[in-house]
A and B are shown apart, each in its own frame.
Chain A
Amino acid sequence: MSATARGYCATSDPWVVSNFALATRIDKGKPSFTNHTMSAAPSEKLPDGGAKKAIKLPPTEKSGDVRRRSFIVLSFWAVVVMLGLPFWWYTTSIYRANLPLDRMLEWADGKACQPVLPITVAFEAEGLAAPDAQELVRLTQGMLDQQSDLAAHQIRLQPGNTDDAALTLQFTPGKQMGATLDSREASLKINYPSGTTVSNPSDAAALATYLAQELRAAFAEERAIISHLLNQPLQNQSPETIEALSKRTTRSMRYASTYHLTFSLFTDGPSPSTWDIEEAVDRYMRPMLDILRPIHNFTVDTQLQLYATPGVQSQVLSKEDLSSFINAAEWPLSPSIGGAPTVNFVLFVGNQTIGNAGSDATSQSWMIPQWGTVYLLPLSDSTAHVDSEILRQPMLTFGGHLLTLLGTPQSGSLPLRLSTLTRIRSLDLLLHASSTLGSLARLSISLPSISIPRTVADGVAASLDHLEKACANLGGPEGLYHARIAESEAEKSFFEKSMVGQLYFPDEHKIAVYLPLLGPVGVPLVLGLIKELKGWKQRRKDAKETKDKKKQ
């Protein structure tokens, strides 16, 4: 008991206030006086408060004790490293499925696929003998290949009549060279002087040159659009053409297999309150929609809204007014449900006029890019019913604008324009899917803390698979089909909801969770390790010195 009291006086280190009353720390295993023992120590110290206190050194530790201490420290660390760390890692790590990042980036950079859109042109030459026709095909094809300035766009001539031809060449002997594009069918009618014989090389060359030139002219717009999509400008394109092409891109809606068409009649006052919209749609819109069916599906709905005040009240609408004319807050033009985008066709009954009509607007209607069309219809106040004859002009305008909104080229007959649309859409989808995959790859690289669920990896794999198939079959309906799936899979993967959930977990919270535990536990562990390492070094040094001494 007296020893305890004395020990307490001697030290103020709180750790030592325990059964080991006389304990204090020893930092280094110093070689010292071996005749001292623990039991002898208290007897040496006298409570006289003697001014001459001898500095004593503790006895040397047994090497077994030192080793045991090292084992203890090491086993603590072994538990931490082998059990603690893996457990922590396992419970806090974020699942990141493996994404084929390199391939995704390759697709995004356009290295994975060199898109080639073959356009089959049937060569119907009834008046020509078969060998002659083949010779002419060979010559024209050579001419076309020679002139080709866009690798992606290839016109391929094929003798005979084929079903999947985008264009058919029809030859009729006539007085002079001439070519006309049929306004209804996808065919190019060629007149050639009746005296021409293909066996004559100069005649054949002239005809082939002419054919090549006409074919290139027929597909000029498509070639321009494709070059714009691929970002490979053609030679001698004027800035106006490039501007028109980018306008086409901004105007057209994103591809969807189904579109909702909403026809709305808005009026400022109480009348008209009925309209023959069903009949008008059947008569003026339906034929066009039927032709578009292979590429898109359409659903049609109509509504009539009275007392709808436009966003702009002025009598003459300036160009700036057009953008705010739609009163989005009050008009029930809510976006449709179920995934398919809506194309709005608004017929506004009112006597407002468009002043300062630019190239974008006719005197009565204007198109809102990627949204739809507004048509101003002046009617007398007493008109209570709008019959289908009045609706004719608005419907035709809507039809034309619908084609533009869908991204159809301007020139050529409708079948030709639609086959062009198929090819443009496939390429567009292919590029869009590739760039989405690229964005996803970059996202996953730049955000290491984002989780990537398995569904995303599956979606990416499916998308890549379909992209390859689409790339191999570009130009046909199969290519469009695969490109469509690839695009939707890529979009689905990119917008996967569960990726965003864990994204934001602030670091302050981590500190608040980890620090209270890791601070007090980690500090003794680390200090103990450091001390042990120091002691180990010292022992090695001492051992070396004694060795050297012995040698001497």
Chain B
Amino acid sequence: MQSLFAWLLLLATAVAASDYHEQLTLRPLPLSSLLASFDFRSNTSFSDYESQNFRLFPRSLAQILQHAGTRELHLRFTLGRWDAENWGARPWDGTKEGGTGVEMWALVDAGSDEEADQKWLTLTNTLSGLFCASLNFIDETRTIRPVKSFQPEGHHTEAALAHSRLLHGVLPHEVVCTENLTPFLKMLPCKGKAGIASLLDGHKLFDASFQSMAIDVRPICAEGQECVLEIEETIDMVLDINRSKRPKGNPIPRPVKADELVCDQSKPYHSEDTCFPVDHLASPDWQLDQVFGRPMKGTCPLADATVPSVCIQVPDKRHVFTSEGSVQHKGADGQSRCYTMDENNDFTLFLARPDNPGEGLEVVEPETPLLYAERSLTGYGQEKGGVQAILTNPGNEDVEFVYLESLPWFMRIYLHTLATHISPNTTTAVDFSTPSSDIIKEIYYRPALDRVRGTQLELLLKIPAKHTVFLTYDVEKTILRYTEYPPDANRGFDVAASVITTLSPRVMNLRTTSLLLYLPTPDFSMPYNVIIFTSTAIALAFGGLYNIIVRRFVGADEGEQSPLKAKLAKLKEMIAAKLGKKSAAPEEKTAVEAL
């Protein structure tokens, strides 16, 4: 697996001279999932970029980059969670994915921090229009300047690096959807009309268990050649094959017919009428146009013809059938094969069911990642809480990495409570004897300022082989101002994923899931209640005081009969007269009348 990506990377550098190439890599994963990685890479020479002649590079994006003085741009739209326990290491070593929502970082050309902020603001605002995303909500409070985690990836001169700033912003609340895919496709030279991009359909993409869209723009300078500006667009998606295979017009899952059921016959209760279905465990058969909902329409004529358009990573034992006119190239490792195809004909691919299910050679064994990471909120109540990150190193080598937290300002962190505990594995008792300083090598901390900026916490950690580290710290939740709550305040506030960048044994990226922080939420009719309540209190006090001061008090019998009272008495008397005509004494009546 590792070697294959390395091979792909090598291939990528080899074809850097060519202007455009695209490739789709399919990899069946355990539990009937399928990882599809789309990679589109095009470049333009700097002279063309500066004179604004665009052929393969999208003009709309280039204009924005020039307007905002951006040297390098990385943009991520991610949805769902990568299930590392089952699916193994991440595609592209995690470098092409972001935290849930939208994440972006850019190297902007600026001599001072103020200038950088200004350009960053322009950049986020214009990109927000281009990608139909709320990128303009990445304001100062969501922007950080990473010190250790993110580094410029392209080739820059020393002078250029000295005169630029790297900014990073994240929007965990953003829901990635079809409207973000459309501008993405528009930027490809062949749109979604030909080549592997014709497989991309919003319905399937956003129905996936995990999907990540990435755009990277960076300058690449090969020795002895003119520098080029490279734009790489990638889409990774994990499809649930059984779900994707459901026909479009009939998407409701229905029970499988009895004779089609695959049962685990080793179960003691297995019989004619009882069955433990193992359908989801086996690697099912599938066809390309079936899981993507549409066939692949030839190849993009602009793409480099020497790079095969479609690759599939399955053991050589499994049978793959493709449409006519395609040529198969087998990889040297025996676990991959690629296909070149006819430019104008539709292409499809069929992966047959494994011959002997259960032998363990159905899919390429997922690679164990360097680290597993999960993070959760601890504590109870609306005032205080804590965060715990569990970082596991399953390998046989020590892993050194940078752990980056970009926390919102309303989540106040108590840095003195930052603590680590180590244990040989997750189940056994935690070892408290190892001091934190053995694990945390360096801390970079930039405290939050209310409503101005968020917390930036970067930790350099080292985990020994086969060990788990529990990283904990306490936080305090802030009560926000009335107008600062979003319309769905009771849903909670998203806290961005923490980013893990391993430094040794090799560089790769990892992100935890984002958190949902529940803040104390007021009753939103409160202002009017307060107004009415205080007004009533004031009015009561005032009315009483005023009346006592201003009114004259006299004896009860000296006052004038109030007209209402007289009328009431009359009415009372009339009723009494009617009811008790016979019994009522006449003199009594006259007595009342005299009143």
B193 adjacent to chain A (CB < 8 Å): yes
**Would B556 and A15 count as touching, CB distance under 8 A?**
no
A334 adjacent to chain B (CB < 8 Å): yes
Chain B residue with the shortest CB-CB distance to A308: B191
Note all chain B residues with C-beta closer than 8 A to A26.
552, 554, 558-560
How far is B271's CA from A145's CA once the two chains are assembled, in angstroms? 114
In the assembled complex, the CB of A407 is this many whole angstroms from the nearest CB of chain B, namely 25
B129, B191, B554: the one within 8 Å of A24 (CB):
B554
**Would A520 and B553 count as touching, CB distance under 8 A?**
no
Chain A residue with the shortest CB-CB distance to B130: A334
**Would A307 and B191 count as touching, CB distance under 8 A?**
yes
Chain B residue with the shortest CB-CB distance to A32: B558
Beyond A24-B558, A25-B552, A299-B52, whether A271 also contacts B535 by CB under 8 A is no
Interface residue stretch chosen among B90-98, B99-107, B537-545: B537-545
Chain B residue with the shortest CB-CB distance to A516: B535
Note all chain A residues with C-beta closer than 8 A to B189.
306
**Would A300 and B194 count as touching, CB distance under 8 A?**
no
**Would B594 and A520 count as touching, CB distance under 8 A?**
no
A11 adjacent to chain B (CB < 8 Å): yes
Chain B residue with the shortest CB-CB distance to A301: B52
How far is B300's CA from A506's CA once the two chains are assembled, in angstroms? 57
B64 adjacent to chain A (CB < 8 Å): yes
How far is B552's CA from A58's CA once the two chains are assembled, in angstroms? 10
List CB contacts (< 8 Å) of A116-173 with chain B: none
**Would B53 and A56 count as touching, CB distance under 8 A?**
no
**Would B55 and A304 count as touching, CB distance under 8 A?**
yes
**Would B555 and A42 count as touching, CB distance under 8 A?**
yes
List CB contacts (< 8 Å) of A330-367 with chain B: 330, 332, 334, 336-338
Note all chain B residues with C-beta closer than 8 A to A57.
558
In the assembled complex, the CB of B278 is this many whole angstroms from the nearest CB of chain A, namely 44
0/1 per residue, A255-289, Cβ < 8 Å to B? Answer: 00000001000000011011001100000000000
Note all chain B residues with C-beta closer than 8 A to A21.
556
**Would B558 and A61 count as touching, CB distance under 8 A?**
no
How far is B539's CA from A525's CA once the two chains are assembled, in angstroms? 11
0/1 per residue, A43-66, Cβ < 8 Å to B? Answer: 011000001110011110100010
A23, A73, A308, A338: the one within 8 Å of B67 (CB):
A338
Beyond A26-B560, A51-B594, whether A274 also contacts B55 by CB under 8 A is yes
List CB contacts (< 8 Å) of A69-99 with chain B: 69, 72-73, 76
B111 adjacent to chain A (CB < 8 Å): no
**Would B554 and A524 count as touching, CB distance under 8 A?**
no
Chain A residue with the shortest CB-CB distance to B59: A303
How far is B126's CA from A516's CA once the two chains are assembled, in angstroms? 46
A513 adjacent to chain B (CB < 8 Å): yes
0/1 per residue, A1-41, Cβ < 8 Å to B? Answer: 00000110011110110101111111100000000101001
Beyond A76-B546, A332-B58, A521-B543, whether A23 also contacts B190 by CB under 8 A is no
In the assembled complex, the CB of A132 is this many whole angstroms from the nearest CB of chain B, namely 57
Q: How large is the interface on A (under 10, 10 to 19, 20 to 34, 35 or more residues)?
A: 35 or more
**Would A332 and B186 count as touching, CB distance under 8 A?**
yes
**Would A516 and B536 count as touching, CB distance under 8 A?**
yes
A201 adjacent to chain B (CB < 8 Å): no
In the assembled complex, the CB of B236 is this many whole angstroms from the nearest CB of chain A, namely 24
**Would A301 and B63 count as touching, CB distance under 8 A?**
yes
**Would B64 and A521 count as touching, CB distance under 8 A?**
no
How far is B63's CA from A45's CA once the two chains are assembled, in angstroms? 98
How far is B54's CA from A334's CA once the two chains are assembled, in angstroms? 14
Beyond A53-B595, A301-B54, A521-B538, whether A36 also contacts B558 by CB under 8 A is yes
A302 adjacent to chain B (CB < 8 Å): yes
B549 adjacent to chain A (CB < 8 Å): yes
A447 adjacent to chain B (CB < 8 Å): no
How far is B300's CA from A273's CA once the two chains are assembled, in angstroms? 11
How far is B60's CA from A13's CA once the two chains are assembled, in angstroms? 79
How far is B531's CA from A337's CA once the two chains are assembled, in angstroms? 46
Chain B residue with the shortest CB-CB distance to A332: B60
B51 adjacent to chain A (CB < 8 Å): yes
Beyond A36-B558, A76-B546, A516-B531, whether A271 also contacts B301 by CB under 8 A is yes
How far is B301's CA from A271's CA once the two chains are assembled, in angstroms? 8
B85 adjacent to chain A (CB < 8 Å): no
Note all chain A residues with C-beta closer than 8 A to B129.
334
**Would A517 and B539 count as touching, CB distance under 8 A?**
yes
B59, B535, B547, B560: the one within 8 Å of A301 (CB):
B59
How far is B51's CA from A51's CA once the two chains are assembled, in angstroms? 112
B53, B187, B540, B548: the one within 8 Å of A302 (CB):
B53
In the assembled complex, the CB of B545 is this many whole angstroms from the nearest CB of chain A, namely 10
B557 adjacent to chain A (CB < 8 Å): yes
Beyond A273-B302, A301-B54, whether A521 also contacts B553 by CB under 8 A is no
A519 adjacent to chain B (CB < 8 Å): yes
How far is B558's CA from A327's CA once the two chains are assembled, in angstroms? 92
Chain A residue with the shortest CB-CB distance to B52: A301
B571 adjacent to chain A (CB < 8 Å): no
**Would B539 and A337 count as touching, CB distance under 8 A?**
no
**Would A528 and B546 count as touching, CB distance under 8 A?**
yes
Note all chain B residues with C-beta closer than 8 A to A41.
554-558
Chain B residue with the shortest CB-CB distance to A329: B182
How far is B194's CA from A330's CA once the two chains are assembled, in angstroms? 15
**Would B535 and A25 count as touching, CB distance under 8 A?**
no
B550 adjacent to chain A (CB < 8 Å): yes
B429 adjacent to chain A (CB < 8 Å): no
Note all chain B residues with C-beta closer than 8 A to A520.
535-536, 539-540, 542-543
B54, B554, B562: the one within 8 Å of A23 (CB):
B554
With A271-B301, A303-B59, A304-B54 already in contact, 10 other A-B pairs whose C-beta atoms are closer than 8 Å:
A24-B559, A25-B551, A273-B55, A302-B52, A303-B54, A334-B60, A516-B532, A519-B539, A520-B542, A524-B543
- CB-CB nearest 4 A-B residue pairs: A520-B539, A24-B559, A41-B555, A301-B52
A-B contact pairs, 27 of them (CB 8 A): A20-B553, A22-B553, A24-B560, A25-B551, A25-B552, A26-B552, A27-B560, A41-B555, A41-B557, A53-B557, A58-B554, A59-B554, A69-B550, A73-B550, A274-B55, A303-B54, A306-B301, A306-B302, A307-B191, A307-B194, A332-B58, A332-B59, A332-B60, A334-B60, A512-B528, A513-B531, A521-B542
